[in-house]
Amino acid sequence: MGSGPVGDEVIVLIGLVVAFYMAWNLGANDAANPTDTAVGSGAITLRKAILLFSVFAVIGALLQGYKVIKTIGKGVVRDLDPLMALSASLAAGIWVTLATRKGLPVSTTHSTVGAVLGVGLTRWLVYGEVERINWGVVAKVVLSWITSPLGAIVLAALLYALFARLYSSLAARGVGVERLFQGILLFNLAFSAYAFGANDVGNATGVYVGVVGPVLGVPDAETMRLLALLGGAGIALGAFTWGYRVIMTVGFKITRLDYVSGAAAELANASVVYLFTLLGMPVSTTHASVSSVIGVGIARERSLRGIDGHTVALIIAGWLLTVPIAAGLASVIYILISHI
């Protein structure tokens, strides 16, 4: 199944272009995750939020993006070859583009890991290479998908109760709470964007860490830095072009956000994502972000009445479809390309 050395180099170069396309998708779909509450609460304009997001996402990608890049690149499926990496990137990118066009916040983490699993399963089922799939790592990643939304909902609800009490206490003392909480929202946006860049850049470029080095003769450490830079640039471009589509969905359609609920949701989102980043686990920033917004909506109303059920149902449907669709696309693309 391997191509010659020259063929591998061409495939890697094409794959890096596809990786940039996937990074663009990250910025387009996931720019909402750090910015939705600040924009939805009126703390900052959409354009300024996207600019702030882009700056801190790139910093996060460059400083700590290597942690998750390594997990995706060498953990989920062992020994990805250039063709497998290209197929996975292209499949994940196509699905996220379709979802973004509809303003649907889907998990680029699920898309990428699902696509990588798709090519891994194809090599297993078609060529009998079951040893390529690291089921232990897969189990840990799946566990993080379950724990991160639940953790974000609980933490957001707790932070909302704390922030609401703080708001009332400070307002009673004549403190300018509006400006204070606006500042908290902007800080949370920057922190969340940094955590996003550190965690999610691996979704665009992680599949290439084990491919670029051997084929182009670049050391792994240098490869991860270059991939982080490529991914950061793509994320920024995606945010400035299509980022508004999903920001409007999450920021305005799930629940009504104000300074207090927005600050609580964003801090919960950033904290959950950063924790999983330190563990090297590719957690869904989309799930953490949306779940945090749901958490503050429930906490404010002390029921589900504050949540738009139709919007949430559409989002959850997209979440459930992401892994099978990405895996199926990756499998089809891999089979087609491998026979060209």
How high is the mean pLDDT of the chain?
Answer: 85
Distance in angstroms (rounded) separating the CA atoms of residues 248 and 130: 43
Q: Which residue's structure tokens are 């232990």?
A: 136
Q: Tell me which of 216 and 287 has the higher pLDDT.
A: 287
Q: How many CA atoms lie within 13 A of 290 on its CB side?
A: 28
Q: Tell me which of 312 and 207 has the higher pLDDT.
A: 312
| 3 state SS of 333 | helix
- Alpha carbon distances (Å) from 61 to 56, 201, 302: 9, 6, 37
In 3D space, the residue among 175, 112, 109, 194 whose CA is nearest the CA of residue 145 turns out to be: 109
| 3 state SS of 133 | strand
Structure-token pair, residue 94: 């196509």
Show Cβ contacts of residue 164 under 8 Å, excluding neighbours closer than 6 positions.
260, 300
Residue numbers of the domain that contains 274: 5-338
pLDDT at 138 over 90: no
| 3 state SS of 77 | strand
pLDDT of residue 105: 94
pLDDT of residue 1: 45
* Beta strand ranges found along 82-171 (DSSP E): none
pLDDT tens per residue across span 297-326: 999 988 888 899 999 999 999 998 998 999
pLDDT tens per residue across span 226-243: 888 888 899 999 999 999
282 pLDDT tier (thresholds 50, 70, 90): low
220 pLDDT tier (thresholds 50, 70, 90): low
Question: Which residue(s) pair with 77 in the sheet?
Answer: 133
Residue 133: phi and psi, rounded to 5, are -90, 125
Domain count, the chain: 1
The distance from CA 6 to its chain's CA centroid, rounded to whole angstroms, is 33
In 3D space, the residue among 85, 103, 115, 122 whose CA is nearest the CA of residue 31 turns out to be: 103
Q: What is the mean pLDDT of residues 103-129?
A: 86
Show Cβ contacts of residue 249 under 8 Å, excluding neighbours closer than 6 positions.
32, 103, 104, 105, 311, 315
Q: Which residue's structure tokens are 């449907």?
A: 317
pLDDT at 5 over 60: no
| Helical pair 82-101 and 209-216, crossing angle rounded to 10 deg | 140
pLDDT at 72 over 70: no
Q: What is the mean pLDDT of residues 131-158?
A: 81
Q: Which residue's structure tokens are 């922190």?
A: 191
Question: Poorest-confidence range of 64-78, 122-136, 277-291?
Answer: 64-78
In 3D space, the residue among 61, 51, 32, 20 whose CA is nearest the CA of residue 234 turns out to be: 20
Q: What proportion of the chain, given as a percentage, has pLDDT over 90?
A: 48
Q: How many C-beta atoms surround the C-beta of residue 137 within 10 A?
A: 18
Q: How many C-beta atoms surround the C-beta of residue 294 within 10 A?
A: 24
